[in-house]
Amino acid sequence: MVMPNIDAEAAGAALTRAETLQRRVRRRSRWYVRYLQIYGAGAFVATLLLGLGPRGVAASVAVWGAVVAALSAYAVRQPVSRHGFARRHAMIIASWAVLYAAVLMPGVLWFEGELLWWLPGAVVVSLPAFLGARLEGRR
């Protein structure tokens, strides 16, 4: 394969353009930090509400449904994401799901209405999103 000759001026312009694009992607992909913060807050509230009995379950479903719908609409409108986004996002959501199940199953069986179970459980369930937001913000 023959590479075309590129003069120094064109090479400099190409590097400048690449740096500009990299800064733009970095700036425009910060949306994911906000996404994860809202996800974590929603997971906390929805999980805490579960412990309040049948009315709490209904409120939890309403809150979680609204949070997921709003975040989904927000995410699909974003023009960029960083390299490795899908893998990181899948890891965060999978971690959330495992922790959610670990809090939910014993909670509904043995700890209905017990704040001493549901409050720490809500914190644990929200951790993957908040930790993900922190790490994403440092990138």
* Each residue's pLDDT tens digit, 4-49: 667 877 777 777 777 777 677 666 668 999 999 999 999 999 999 9
Q: What is the pLDDT of residue 108?
A: 92
**CA–CA separation, 56 vs 65, rounded Å?**
14
Instruction: Look up residue 26 and give its two tokens.
Output: 């970095």
Entry pTM: 0.83
pLDDT in tens, 78-110: 987 788 889 999 999 999 999 999 999 999 999
Q: Do 20 and 124 contact (CB within 8 A), yes or no?
A: no
End-to-end CA distance of the chain: 36
Residue 1 pLDDT > 90, yes or no?
A: no
Residue 67, burial from CB neighbour count under 10 angstroms (0-12, 13-18, 19+): middle
